[in-house]
């Protein structure tokens, strides 16, 4: 039979096509199984339901994803955002400006760094691996000329003891700081894992490290704000919009209550509350903060979790919601550079996607008492490392 099949026309084409179709079906099945299990836990698991419910998933994740898809035409590319701010071809438009970008050596952070440097901004690459950053920078320099400088400094966001040395290294450069872009992060490790200090690793990396970094840089941010508006841009996610509730006493999450999806929702919601706290307490000091949902972009985020990466990056179902890196990186620089952000902040906006201010549903719009309580809890946790 096999020999007979091989004599059929187009057999050499049909076999790989069939194999690809089977692989796609297998991938789709894995994605739906993971999605179904997540929904089941939102409905039936009281520990998960305390943080994210089926209702908040619908009013948060699904609503934001649907609106993002419907308004995707409003989203420019990262470079178009900078061109709009500086003028096309005005490659010295950001001369004198200084930005820190965590995770600048790949993905969205790399695209942000490229566009800012192209238009004259001095970018501090805050990275875990300086060697990897050097390679990425050399590749960029081969592709085009940059008017802005770059300085690579080491930081390990999963280790709070590395944050203060990074800040000291930056301060030794005697530079102002106009833009702090808290870009780096991890997504949904399948198992609870401790950071160097014993905190749940996702909360330590995504939240505590950037919180401590911001606190230690506040004197420099305030100093710069005396002569120029300062922006703090924090990468959040539509996952945060599905968060139902946050218990500050359970930050970071205890090992026995860890759920990868629910805790990622909490982590990204905390990012939004961080931006709100900065806005509330420093908005009158010429410092503006924003939380950004960049979109669903395959950048390596979620590596190690086959279920969630297959769902977000591999399934046909989610393909309409995915963005390329140049568009995914655009809202970050819109919040960094657009003159409109100042007025948005005065109107109470803090959550952005598709280069527009958006409504922050569910816990993102919680009262100021929760914003202050979450801030106080993070400050308590990082105090030994300040």
Q: Is the pLDDT of residue 352 over 80?
A: yes
258 given a catalytic annotation: yes
Q: Range with the lowest mean pLDDT among 35-39, 332-336, 349-353?
A: 35-39
Q: What is the pLDDT of residue 62?
A: 94
Taking Cα atoms as reference points, which of 275, 293, 295, 298 lies closest to residue 348?
275
Q: pLDDT tens digits for 102-135?
A: 999 999 999 999 999 999 999 999 999 999 999 9
pLDDT at 27: 77
Is pLDDT above 80 for 164? yes
Mean pLDDT along residues 33-47: 93
Query: What is each CA distance from 140 to 34, 46, 134, 143, in whole angstroms?
Result: 37, 49, 10, 5
Tell me what pLDDT residue 372 has.
97
For position 130, what pLDDT does the model report? 96
Cα dist. 234→185, 267, 272, 301, 329 in Å? 10, 12, 8, 16, 12
Task: Pick from 20-24, 45-49, 281-285, 295-299 the range whose average pLDDT is largest.
Answer: 45-49
pLDDT of residue 309: 85
- Where does the pLDDT of residue 181 fall: very low under 50, low under 70, confident under 90, or very high at 90 and above? very high
pLDDT in tens, 42-87: 999 999 999 999 999 999 999 999 999 999 888 999 999 999 999 9
Residues 12-16, mean pLDDT to the nearest whole number: 54
pLDDT of residue 57: 95
Asked if residue 328 has pLDDT above 60, the reply is: yes
* 34, 119, 179, 258: the active-site residue: 258
Place of tokens 């903060």: 289
Q: Where are the alpha helices (DSSP H) in the chain?
A: 2-6, 11-44, 46-49, 54-56, 63-70, 78-86, 107-118, 130-143, 163-171, 201-203, 209-225, 260-282, 306-309, 325-328, 330-337, 340-346, 368-382
pLDDT band for position 267 (cuts 50, 70, 90): very high
Average pLDDT over residues 322-326: 92
Helix orientation angle between 209-225 and 163-171, rounded to the nearest 10 degrees: 20
CA-to-CA distance for 319 and 45, rounded, in angstroms?
29
- Residue 313 — very low, low, confident or very high, per pLDDT cuts 50/70/90? confident
DSSP 11-39: HHHHHHHHHHHHHHHHHHHHHHHHHHHHH
- CB-based burial label for 26 (10 Å; 0-12, 13-18, 19+): exposed
156 or 21: whose pLDDT is higher? 156
């Amino acid at each position: 039979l096999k020999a007979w099949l091989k004599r059929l026309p187009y057999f050499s084409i049909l076999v790989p096509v069939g194999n690809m179709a089977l692989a796609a079906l297998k991938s789709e099945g894995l994605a739906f199984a993971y999605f179904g299990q997540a929904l089941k836990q939102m409905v039936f698991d009281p520990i998960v339901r305390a943080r994210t419910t089926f209702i908040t998933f619908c009013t948060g994740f699904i609503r934001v994803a649907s609106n993002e898809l419907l308004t995707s035409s409003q989203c420019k590319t990262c470079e178009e955002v900078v061109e709009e701010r500086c003028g096309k071809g005005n490659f010295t438009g950001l001369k004198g400006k200084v930005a820190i970008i965590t995770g600048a050596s790949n993905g969205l952070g790399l695209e942000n760094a490229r566009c800012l440097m192209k238009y004259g901004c001095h970018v501090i690459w805050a990275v875990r691996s300086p060697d990897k950053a050097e390679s990425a920078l050399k590749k960029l320099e081969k592709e085009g000329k940059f008017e802005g400088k770059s300085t690579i400094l080491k930081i390990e966001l999963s280790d709070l003891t590395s944050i203060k040395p990074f800040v000291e290294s930056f301060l030794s450069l005697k530079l102002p700081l106009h833009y702090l872009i808290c870009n780096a992060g991890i997504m949904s490790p399948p198992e609870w894992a401790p950071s160097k200090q014993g905190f749940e690793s996702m909360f330590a990396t995504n939240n505590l490290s950037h919180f401590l970094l911001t606190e230690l840089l506040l004197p420099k941010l305030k100093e710069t704000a005396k002569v120029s508006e300062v922006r703090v841009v924090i990468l959040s996610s539509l996952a945060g919009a599905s968060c139902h509730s946050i218990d500050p006493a359970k930050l970071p999450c205890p090992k026995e209550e860890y759920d990868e999806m629910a805790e990622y929702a909490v982590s990204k919601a905390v990012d939004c509350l961080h931006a709100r706290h900065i806005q509330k307490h420093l908005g009158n000091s010429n410092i503006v903060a924003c939380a950004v949902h960049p979109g669903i972009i395959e950048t390596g985020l979620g590596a190690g979790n086959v279920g969630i990466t297959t769902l977000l990056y591999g399934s046909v179902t989610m393909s309409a919601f995915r963005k390329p890196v140049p568009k995914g990186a655009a809202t970050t620089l819109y919040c960094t550079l657009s003159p409109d952000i100042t007025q948005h902040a005065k109107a109470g906006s803090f959550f952005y996607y598709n280069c527009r201010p958006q409504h922050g549903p569910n816990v993102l719009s919680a009262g100021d008492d929760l914003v202050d309580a979450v801030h106080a809890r993070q400050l308590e946790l990082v105090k030994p490392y300040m």
